[in-house]
Amino acid sequence: MLLYLRLFKESFSFAISALTNNKLRTFLSLLGVTIGIFSIIAVLAAVDSLKNDIKGSISSLDNSTLYIMRFSFGPSTIPQWKREQFPDVTYEEFQFIENKIPNVEAASFSLNVNPETIKYDAASVENVQIAAVTSGYYNIESLQIGEGRFFNESESNSGSPVVVLGDEIASSLFGNLNPIGKVVRLYGRKFTVIGVLEKEGSGLFGNSKDTAAILPVNFVRRLLGDNNKRAFPAIIVKPESGIDLSEFNAVIAQGLRNFRGLKAGEDNNFFVNELQGFTDLIDNITGQLNFMGWIISGFSLLVGGFGIANIMFVSVKERTNLIGIQKSLGAKNRFILFQFLFEAVILAVIGGLVGLFFVWIVSLLMTQLTDSFEFVLSYSNMFLGFILSTIIGLVSGVIPALSASKLDPVEAIRTGM
């Protein structure tokens, strides 16, 4: 053990000597490893951060939540021309599902509409996300109310002019004033503020409820009509816990088929999308991004490996005389092998650590420059970078190390003279 510790120490000294004595050559050789490790770990960290941000924005939803609409979350076997002819889901279908389908814990009818401007006296906020929903949305999203309350079923059914504001919208409109009971203008109409959501924090795509205004969907339906192309409807269903989701999905699909009068053999003209399917789609997309990152960065690692191999071959040639002397004094072949192999690994690890350092700097800068996004460099990615560097050093240094270990001591001394 002491012999190998001494060997490691000497190899580390030789590696540092190679770095200091041949700065330009070493810099160019390690540049490939540094760029390769930087590229791979930066891509992995960026994709992980993106995935965390997207999943964090839907973390309040149960994975069993279903979205019923005329669009599919993922690929479909139904031709696009046929899907484009699917009718939108209706409020009556929502009522049917809520009242007639068993094992429904909560359901909501939602209209996705364009952002609007909301005003209070002289203050106004533009591009406010409008969430037009029914009262069941509160239980589906597990909303956290900071002040006031959410609108009840009676207000939801009648389409009362009440609104629940996101924290950022409330702060922009009212400052330090208590917003509860204040009257704001939206769609050219007056709305009474009955609640303010707790601060959530912004997401990468600006999808935080901090910048949203939630109001009864029936008010928007009465204002825009049920066939308005500016509004995209969906039915959101949260099943009771512990039930078989595939069976529940089938029950909803069959119930909606019956409601629409579809005949046996006819395709569904709607989609029952599982939120789990959406998260699987995210995983699939991020997996493909990771794969492409590996392919592109792999070329840099390959160049870096050749650079390490080149510097090791040069190092073997420069120290041929020393190798001969070491062997003549009794050094074993494996001692010479490990000496150069350790040196190659140390050089590669140094290049990898420099790459990781740059990724860390970039992650700090990205997090500081984008208030809504946290760039996460995980310990697993850092460890992966270290392991990759070590593997590059081993693979690149094994042939030069073998050639050094097999040198004949007499010929090595004569060649080096």
Is residue 91's pLDDT more than 90?
A: yes
Is residue 152's pLDDT more than 90?
A: yes
Averaged pLDDT, 85-107 = 91
Identify the three-state secondary structure at position 152.
coil
Can you read off the two tokens belonging to residue 162? 């009440």
Q: Rounded to the nearest 5 degrees, what angle is found at the Cα of 208, between the Cα atoms of 242 and 205?
A: 105
67 closest CA partner among 155, 162, 133: 133
Predicted local distance difference test score (pLDDT) of residue 3? 66
Predicted local distance difference test score (pLDDT) of residue 323? 67
The whole-angstrom separation of Cα 368 and Cα 360 is 12
Predicted local distance difference test score (pLDDT) of residue 62? 59
Which residue has better confidence, 99 or 316?
A: 99
Domain locations along the chain: 2-57+281-416, 87-269
Per-residue pLDDT tens digits for 190-249:
999 999 998 876 544 345 788 889 999 999 999 888 877 778 899 999 988 888 888 998
Which residue has better confidence, 96 or 81?
A: 96
Averaged pLDDT, 100-119 = 91
Which residue has better confidence, 269 or 362?
A: 269
Per-residue pLDDT tens digits for 14-69:
666 766 777 777 777 777 778 878 877 877 777 777 766 665 555 445 567 889 99
Distances (CA, A) of 184 to 150, 151, 259, 272: 16, 16, 39, 36
Averaged pLDDT, 361-388 = 74
Predicted local distance difference test score (pLDDT) of residue 61? 52
Q: Which of 87-96, 238-247, 308-317 has the highest mean pLDDT?
A: 87-96
- Against a cut of 0.85, is the pTM above it? no
The whole-angstrom separation of Cα 291 and Cα 40 is 10
Predicted local distance difference test score (pLDDT) of residue 38? 81
Is residue 345's pLDDT more than 90?
A: no
Q: What is the mean pLDDT of the chain?
A: 80
Predicted local distance difference test score (pLDDT) of residue 411? 67
The whole-angstrom separation of Cα 164 and Cα 132 is 11
Antiparallel, parallel or unpaired: β 271-274 and 212-216? unpaired
Q: Rounded to the nearest 5 degrees, what angle is found at the Cα of 306, between the Cα atoms of 340 and 38?
A: 100
Q: Which of 232-246, 295-309, 330-344 has the highest mean pLDDT?
A: 232-246
Identify whether the C-beta of residue 409 lies closer than 8 Å to the C-beta of residue 327. yes
196 closest CA partner among 169, 156, 177: 169
What is the C-alpha radius of gyration for the chain, rounded to an integer number of angstroms? 32
Is residue 374's pLDDT more than 70?
A: no
Predicted local distance difference test score (pLDDT) of residue 279? 64
Is residue 372's pLDDT more than 70?
A: no
Averaged pLDDT, 271-289 = 71
